[in-house]
Each structure stands twice: as C-alpha cells, then as structure tokens.
Amino acid sequence: MLLLVIGDEARTRKYLPDLPIVGEVELKVVPRGTDDDAILAQAGDADFILADAISPVSAKLISSMPNLKLVHSEGVAYNAIDLDAARERGVHVCNNAGVNAGAVAEQTVLLMLACLRDAVAGDAAVRAGRQIQTKERMMVEGIRELGDCKVGFVGFGAIAQATAERLARWGCEMVYNKRAPLPPEDEERLNVRFEELDRLAATCDIVSLHVPVTDATRGMVDDAFLARMKSDAVLVNTARGEIVDQEALARAIANGVIGAAGCDTLYPEPVPADHPLLTLPPEAACRVVLSPHIGGVTEGMFHRAHRAVWENVARVAAGERPVNVVS
C-alpha cells in the first residue's frame, strides 16, 4: 500500500505516530505545488492521499488513481479537495474536525487583544523612542478591555466554542449566529445566545469569523457587511481568507468604516506583496494585525492530527469506514 503526501516531508516524518500501520504502508511525499502530471508519474498507484490543508487535490488526480480509497486533509479545511470527483469514484474524503480548536481559539483571543491594545503600533512606538507620547495618547483615546466587549461569533463550531469558553473568563457578553441555534442547555453552558446576523454585525464590538468556505460564505464579509459594523468594531478572521472580500476590508480600514482587523488568514495564499491589506497607507496599516496562518499549527495539533490520519488509513486498509468523513 502507498500513501501519497502532498505537503512538507520534514513535518510528515516528524509527526509519524507510533502505530503498526506506519510500518505497513510505503510513504511518498511531494511538495505542495507539484503539478498533477508529476504527482501521477511518481505516485499514480497510491491507495491514500494526505494533503496539506491548502493543497489542491484535483478531479484529475482522483480520477487517475485506480487504487485510491481515501483522501485526507491534514487539517480541518477540505475546500481544496474535489468532492464531486471523490463521490463519483466512491473515495472517502476526511478531515481532522476539531483537532485544532484549542490552538486556533488561542490565536483568536490573541488577535482580539492585539487589536484592542494597538499592540503592533505600540511595539513600534517604544522601539522608536515614543513610549511616553504613545502612552499619553492612548490614555486620552481610551483602551477597551476585552471583558467590556460584546463579541459576536459568525459560525459556532468547535473553534468558536473553544474561543467562547476562554472568553467566558473575561466576562464578555457573547452572541453567535449559525444555521440552526444550539439547544438552550448548550447556550447556557457556553454563556452565549443566538442573534440574527445583521444585528450581530451592527451591535458587536468584536466580530469573529468561524465559518467554512462554501458558495454561501465566500466573500460574505463585503462592503455591505462591513458598513453594518460599528465604526470602532474589530473584525477577527481565523477561519479562511476567502470569507472576506479583501478589497472591501482594505477600504473599510482605510476609510474608518471599522476600527481594526486581526487576520490569521488572507486570500490568496501565499499572500502576494501587493495584497490590498499589505499596501495600506501607514495611518491605516497600523490598525491591521496579521499573523501567517499559524493559529492551528501547534505541535500538539500536529501530533493529534497525524495520529488521526494514520488511524483512518488503518481503518480503510482493514475495509472499515473511516471517521470524520466529509464526503
């Protein structure tokens, strides 16, 4: 049996779990970005594919691999995998649902605090010898405490719920929007309440995005959405860059439509140097906090994720149904 990995070889080998199936399967790793013809030439007889969460797995690959039984995302996202082609072939597609929830929740809170505390500009000011002047200015302008903020979650899956659990300790008022409200007992446990999306956008001090990329969510945070937000509100995106119209967000920041944005994900990836959020004028750029899509890539997450992948490989090799099937 052959497992094709589309991603980083050093990471793949570092996180190999101590499971019998690892010794029973040949491993072939190709770098992210390798074209389909080159992949097929090297591993066209693969039984399983493990793909970096942003690596495409095309219909051509899926339809051209006669032995293929499983395509597994290394992470939670699976929007780069051609699900229709997999269904047509009867190939399982799985992800690692929830595996990075705690890790991304930490990054989400970090970005909220960094925006509220103007951390990037503050760091630059101290390094430039403007510590006292900046402190005086910020005392006059005012610094909001996280516990005084109303936080709205757009989408309320594992990551948003893990974030809510952490924010409860700050005493935040928290609301959420998803297709179907939670049962009342879950809302009470998580200290949240359901709110319609338009009202959430209009009344929250922090709007945190936690929806997957679908036809319905792609570009959902557009000019109209941003215009509904409070002028001093913070937008946080630790989900996917495609959810936000990048040009619209740059305009909203530049024109003071919203107060700040904290983004762990932009679109496209890799992020080009001329991206609209990277080319803002200095007075606007300081109100955007960026991180390099590292919210979920902790060591603990990778240990959990790679063990889960190999456990699914073992299930499929034994003729069993894998877990976390998305298609």
Q: Which residues are catalytic?
A: 240, 269, 293
Taking the C-alpha atoms of residue 76 and residue 296, their distance in angstroms, rounded to an integer, is 9
Taking the C-alpha atoms of residue 300 and residue 294, their distance in angstroms, rounded to an integer, is 13
